[in-house]
Amino acid sequence: MLKLFRSAASIAALILGIAGVFLVLYAWRLPPFTGTVQTTDNAYVRGQVTIISPQLAGYLAEVAVQDFQHVKAGQVLVKIDDRIFEQKLQQAKATLASQQAALANSEQKRRSDEARIASSKAQVDSAKAALTAAEANWKRIEPLLERGVTTQSQADQARASLDQATAALHQADAAEEVARQDLTSTLVNRQSLEAAVQSAEAAVHLAEIDLQNTRIVAPQDGRLGEVGARVGQYVAAGTQLMALVPEKVWVIANFKETQLAGMKVGQPVTFTVDALQHAELTGHIERFSPAAGSEFSVLRADNATGNFTKVAQRVPVRIAIDPNQPLAERLAPGMSVIVSADTSTAASDVPATGTAPGATPPAQVSEQ
């Protein structure tokens, strides 16, 4: 009887041991219990968190929003005291007006130089006419002087008139050349004045941009995090004032590399959200990370030194959340989720919007 009892106890212990092994294999989804649904709890809701910072330094004159407030694109969040920047704009406008006046004066000088050239040309023509008359007079008197018909005094006077007319023509030519050089100088100086006007206009635009940047606005629709800005606070360029979280979110699931074999872009997934009492939502695989998460680590492990223990790496998988799900509006970046992906979906049933590890990439991939 005792022997029979010991035999039954041994059989029961053996059965319990085998059941325990199978239970462990089932819990870890190891053969023969490997299924088509891959699950991971290393998954979180993600979103684009934008840090709002000023481009200028100054004192905050107004904080128009509160913690966790919903804002629209273009809505004023914070105002910096703009009195200094307003005066800089007025100063830049005054400089621009001065440069424009100098350019206008250059234009007037150009016209004056052109008029001087015209006047010099007229003087040259007049000098040429006087020279022609003097030459004709000399040609008449010179033969008469040789025959003794005229006096030496009249001949000397005619010769002097000819010399004076020649000198006057040279003087008129020189005056015309001076007028032309003055016009060239004016035109060259005008280019410098035009550049000065353009520089002054750019300074005005920069001052206008600085004045506009005293009003810090929301870059897009979303909700604010904690607002750290305070009225009267002095801020420098780059000071973190608050964070803006847009409405669009997605899920990043870090699957083990051993779970990726049957995954494809477009496959349906389900995920439960811890913060929503494990409510179940749906989505689909959008794209795969180009490398394992360890490759993006700041401190990467060096497996070439010391003893080596193989550890299954995790590859981030981006999951798009299907629309028309009321609970999806309550998702916020950072929430923990549990993702389950069905790897039995046929390749023909999935849209080609991304690339799985080791697969041929499609012609075009939509980007977020």
Specify the pLDDT at position 318.
95
| More confident site: 27 or 282 | 282
Specify the pLDDT at position 152.
67
Q: Which of 28-37, 117-126, 164-173, 200-209 has the lowest mean pLDDT?
A: 28-37
CATH of domain 83-212: 1.10.287
Q: Which residue has the tokens 């929301």?
A: 218
Specify the pLDDT at position 75.
94
User: What pTM value is reported for the model?
Assistant: 0.64
Q: What is the mean pLDDT of residues 34-46?
A: 85
The span from the CA of 278 to the CA of 287, in Å, is: 25
Return the number of other C-beta atoms located less than 10 Å from residue 137's C-beta: 17
| More confident site: 175 or 98 | 98
pLDDT band at 82 (very low <50, low <70, confident <90, very high): very high
Q: What is the mean pLDDT of residues 297-320?
A: 81
Residue ranges matching CATH 1.10.287 in the chain = 83-212
pLDDT digit string (tens) for 292-303?
Answer: 888 887 777 777
What is the side-by-side order of every strand in the sheet holding 222-224? 50-52, 242-245, 222-224, 70-71
Domain topology for 54-81+215-239: OB fold (Dihydrolipoamide Acetyltransferase, E2P) (2.40.50)
Determine if residue 69 is left, alpha or beta; phi over 0 gives left, psi from -120 to 50 gives alpha, anything else beta. Answer: beta
Residue ranges matching CATH 2.40.30.170 in the chain = 34-47+247-301+309-368
pLDDT band at 194 (very low <50, low <70, confident <90, very high): confident
What is the side-by-side order of every strand in the sheet holding 215-217? 215-217, 76-80, 58-63, 234-235
| More confident site: 160 or 326 | 326
Highest mean pLDDT, choosing among 157-171, 177-191, 208-222, 345-359: 208-222
Specify the pLDDT at position 160.
73
pLDDT exceeds 70 at position 361: no
pLDDT exceeds 80 at position 171: no
Specify the pLDDT at position 281.
94
Specify the pLDDT at position 149.
58
Specify the pLDDT at position 362.
38
CA atoms lying within 13 Å on the CB side of residue 113:
17
The span from the CA of 293 to the CA of 316, in Å, is: 7
pLDDT digit string (tens) for 126-159?
Answer: 767 766 776 666 666 666 656 665 666 666 666 6
Q: What is the mean pLDDT of residues 314-343?
A: 91
pLDDT exceeds 50 at position 221: yes
Q: Which residues pair with 217 in a beta bridge?
A: 76
Q: What is the mean pLDDT of residues 281-285?
A: 93
Pick the CATH number of 34-47+247-301+309-368 from 3.20.20.100, 3.40.50.300, 3.90.1150.10, 2.40.30.170: 2.40.30.170
pLDDT exceeds 80 at position 181: no
Specify the pLDDT at position 354.
45
Specify the pLDDT at position 334.
92
